[in-house]
């Protein structure tokens, strides 16, 4: 056996910030060296940030990534860190074949989602992701060409195989090749977006693959937000029997250091021929053939997972990180939220305060003639509990001006037109304050509203980011209750007024209006919505699954008819396995109704 201390750098890169991302790598390597690590592993495409989408098709961007990776190797060497190999993801291109255009069935310039081994000032080995995900939010067949090698690097006498993200999730390919290659350790570099419950699936998968390959497996994932996506970290190490030996926290930057006992490499026999490696060519490179001198290992850290009750807490954390990074990475100094006294805006404001601090959150109270007294009181209470600034602007004068103007043009407004008008006056005020003062406006729409179309386009849906757009209304309540309970547990004032949580939901667009006037109970509605939106089931399958036929028909109709509104909605943090944006791509013009 050979000992090895590895460091998994769970960092937060920014798309396009190649200089900043390089600094992240050097800083991680420095800390890893201080911890005595023999090998440092960074996440997928850490040099460019991830996902880069169509930036991968720009030759200048690919060249910059290749150059930055080369310079990074030199940076590490000049910082005195060159002896410790660093494995990092970057954007590269397939060399030696014609960089044909899209029409030949592959992206122009043959970009690849690659991994590099940096050692003694040089890029000593590169390889590319083999299995390219092209489902859900991923478009990797559009942006990359697949790799066809499995790199195996001998580090201090241990054969270390390198795979990228999806390579681990798919049967065959790199996982099989790593077994054939007789790897003693597999490093998996990831940019794996958060979804509820994915951490359980991830651990199971790593355990299964380690046993299949017969090698220890180190999984490193990035943290932080990138538009709709948030990465949760949860980097971990399992041994060859699949036992969890080290695990990093979720949603925090972290350097996970683990001491491992690994099989010493022997020269590969004829069984390791490329033919046996599921079509992949095994590429070997020796950095150091001799195991490190025996040392006293430290106790590995397994960060405890939250108990089962706090799945909600995990979602809450994801929303905070997703919003914070959208604000910070896009250079906003502050955010603006219309607080109505209702639960959606109360939760969004609370997430915002947790994300960027109360001094960077601004509230607008925009009461109408239909707003109840408790709405204003609840919104004021919310701002006071959390200490963010709030201003009040009554919308009646604008609403009246629009109504008069419309009537004078022989178009008196009534019904839905009058209700939507109020929402749009509020949207216009929000945007005016935003334009004047530079805040990012946060939209307060939840997923139930967005799915059914029960929101006003250019009204309550305005905003540059929609923190809870992937949360069903029932989850919105759960999150609010969880956050208040968490405050109580810590001996703090619950941030959300109880009344905002417990009162019956209402948009207050007409006197005594309640959501339940036009929608079924949210427990029932969300269950049908989740089954329709979250799967590919149609009417018959939903009825077979036990839902009421009339309700199913109504929900399908509502959801399908609101597609045009969703196309114009702001991005927001994905927390489910299927959000209403890139996870679900449906035509607007669509007569299919069952």
Beta strands in 366-461 (DSSP E): 389-392, 440-441
Q: How far is the CB of 405 from its own copies (least distance, A)?
A: 5
In the sheet with 440-441, reading across from the earlier edge strand, the strands are 389-392, 361-365, 335-338, 440-441
Which of 406, 513, 548, 553 touches its own copies by CB under 8 A? 406
Residue 296's nearest CA partner among 41, 1, 5 is: 5
**514 lines the binding site for its own copies (CB under 8 A):** no
Position 15 contacts its own copies (CB under 8 A): yes
Among 4, 32, 33, 61, binds its own copies (CB under 8 A): 61
Give the residue with the Cβ less far from its own copies, 258 or 335. Answer: 335
144 scored as a contact of its own copies (CB under 8 A): no
Minimum distance between the CB of residue 222 and its own copies, rounded to whole angstroms?
Answer: 14
CB of 308 to its own copies, least distance (A): 25
Token pair listed for 322: 């997703």
The answer to whether 573 and 543 are in contact (CB under 8 A) is no
Among 27, 122, 124, 169, binds its own copies (CB under 8 A): 169
463 contacts 327 by C-beta, under 8 angstroms: no
Query: Residue 39, Cβ neighbours under 10 Å: how many?
Result: 25
Q: How far apart are CA 158 and CA 155, in angstroms?
A: 5
Q: Judged by CB under 8 A, does residue 405 bind its own copies?
A: yes
209 makes contact with its own copies (CB under 8 A): no
Residues 531-550 close enough to bind its own copies by CB under 8 A = 536-541
Which stretches does DSSP call E strand in 342-495? 361-365, 389-392, 440-441
Q: Could you tell me how many residues of this chain bind its own copies (CB under 8 A)?
A: 104
Q: Which is nearer to its own copies, 107 or 342 (CB)?
A: 107
* Residue 1 vs 401, nearer CB to its own copies: 401
Q: Does 453 bind its own copies (CB under 8 A)?
A: no
Distance CA 264, CA 184 (A): 7
Instruction: Please pick, from the candidates 14, 114, 221, 500, the single residue that binds its own copies as defined by CB under 8 A.
Output: 14
Gap between the Cα atoms of 10 and 251, Å rounded: 9
Binds its own copies by CB under 8 A, chosen from 79, 273, 333, 417: 417
Residue 594 binds to its own copies (criterion: CB under 8 A):
yes
**Residues numbered 223-242 forming contacts with its own copies, rule: CB under 8 A:** 225-227
User: Residue 309 is encoded by which pair of tokens?
Assistant: 């009750």
CA distance 483 to 486: 5
Closest CB 584 distance from its own copies, rounded Å: 6
Tell the smallest beta-carbon distance from residue 183 to its own copies (Å). Answer: 22
Report how many helices (DSSP H) and strands (DSSP E) the chain contains, helices first: 18, 19
Q: Is 432 in the site for its own copies (CB under 8 A)?
A: yes
Sign for the CA dihedral angle at 80, 86, 91, 92 comes to positive
Q: Which of 366, 361, 383, 495 is nearest to 441 (CA)?
A: 361
The answer to whether 446 and 473 are in contact (CB under 8 A) is yes
Tell me: does residue 485 bind its own copies (CB under 8 A). no
Residues 89-118 that bind its own copies (CB under 8 A): 102-105, 107-109
Query: Using CB under 8 A, which of the segments 22-30, 378-386, 429-437, 478-486 binds its own copies?
Result: 429-437
| Residues forming the active site | 44, 129, 165
Write out the binding residues for its own copies, residues 20-39 only, by CB under 8 A.
20
The mark string for 362-391 relative to its own copies (x by CB under 8 A, - otherwise) is -----------------------------x
Tell me the C-alpha distance between 240 and 193, whole Å: 26
Candidates 207-215, 251-259, 305-313, 408-416: pick the segment binding its own copies (CB under 8 A): 408-416
DSSP 193: B
Helix or strand holding residue 8 (H, E): strand 2-10
């Amino acid at each position: 056996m050979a000992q090895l201390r590895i460091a998994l750098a769970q960092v937060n890169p920014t798309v396009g910030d190649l200089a900043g991302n390089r600094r992240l790598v050097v800083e991680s390597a420095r800390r890893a060296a201080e911890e005595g690590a023999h090998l440092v592993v960074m996440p997928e495409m850490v040099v460019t940030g991830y996902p880069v989408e169509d930036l991968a098709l720009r030759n200048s961007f690919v060249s910059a990534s290749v150059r930055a990776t080369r310079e990074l190797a030199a940076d590490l060497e000049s910082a005195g860190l060159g002896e410790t190999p660093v494995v990092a993801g970057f954007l590269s291109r397939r060399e030696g074949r014609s960089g044909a255009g899209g029409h030949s069935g592959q992206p122009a310039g043959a970009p690849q989602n690659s991994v590099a081994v940096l050692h003694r000032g040089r890029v000593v080995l590169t390889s590319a992701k083999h299995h390219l995900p092209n489902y859900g939010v991923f478009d990797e067949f559009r942006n990359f060409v697949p790799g066809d090698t499995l790199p195996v690097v001998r580090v201090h006498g241990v054969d270390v195989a390198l795979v990228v993200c999806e390579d681990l999730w798919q049967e065959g390919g790199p996982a099989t090749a790593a077994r054939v290659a007789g790897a003693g350790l597999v490093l998996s570099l990831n940019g794996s977006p958060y979804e509820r419950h994915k951490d359980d699936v991830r651990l199971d998968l790593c355990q299964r693959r380690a046993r299949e390959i017969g090698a220890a497996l180190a999984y490193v994932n990035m943290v932080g937000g990138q538009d709709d996506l948030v990465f949760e970290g949860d980097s971990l190490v399992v041994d060859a029997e699949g036992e969890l030996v080290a695990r990093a926290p979720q949603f925090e930057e972290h350097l996970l250091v683990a001491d491992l006992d690994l099989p010493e490499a022997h020269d590969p026999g004829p069984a390791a021929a490329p033919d046996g490696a599921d079509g992949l060519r095994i590429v070997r490179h020796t950095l150091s053939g001799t195991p490190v001198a025996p040392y006293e290992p430290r106790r590995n850290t397994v960060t405890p997972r939250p108990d089962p009750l706090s799945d909600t807490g995990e979602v809450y954390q994801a929303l905070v990180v997703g919003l914070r990074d959208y604000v910070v990475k896009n250079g906003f100094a502050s955010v603006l939220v219309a607080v109505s006294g209702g639960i959606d805006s109360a939760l969004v404001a609370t997430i915002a305060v947790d994300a960027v601090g109360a001094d960077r959150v601004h509230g607008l109270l925009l009461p109408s003639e239909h707003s109840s007294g408790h709405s204003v009181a609840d919104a004021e209470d919310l701002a006071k509990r959390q200490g963010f600034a709030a201003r009040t602007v009554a919308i009646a004068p604008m609403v009246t001006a629009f109504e008069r103007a419309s009537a004078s043009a022989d178009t008196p407004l009534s019904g839905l037109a009058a209700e939507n008008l109020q929402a749009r006056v509020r949207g216009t005020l929000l945007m005016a304050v935003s334009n004047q003062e530079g805040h990012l406006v946060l939209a307060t729409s939840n997923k139930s509203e967005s799915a059914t179309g029960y929101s006003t386009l250019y009204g309550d849906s305005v905003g540059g980011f929609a923190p809870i757009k992937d949360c069903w209304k029932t989850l919105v309540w759960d999150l609010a209750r969880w956050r208040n309970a968490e405050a109580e547990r810590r001996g703090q004032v619950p941030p959300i007024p109880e009344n905002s949580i417990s009162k019956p939901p209402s948009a207050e667009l007409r006197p005594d209006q309640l959501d339940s006037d036009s929608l079924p109970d949210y427990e029932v509605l969300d269950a049908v919505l989740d089954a329709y939106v979250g799967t590919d089931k149609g009417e018959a399958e939903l009825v077979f699954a036990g839902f009421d036929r009339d309700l199913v028909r109504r929900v399908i109709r509502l959801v399908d008819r609101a597609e045009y509104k969703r196309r114009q909605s702001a991005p927001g943090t994905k927390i489910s396995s299927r959000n209403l944006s890139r996870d679900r791509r449906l035509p607007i013009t669509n007569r299919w109704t069952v």
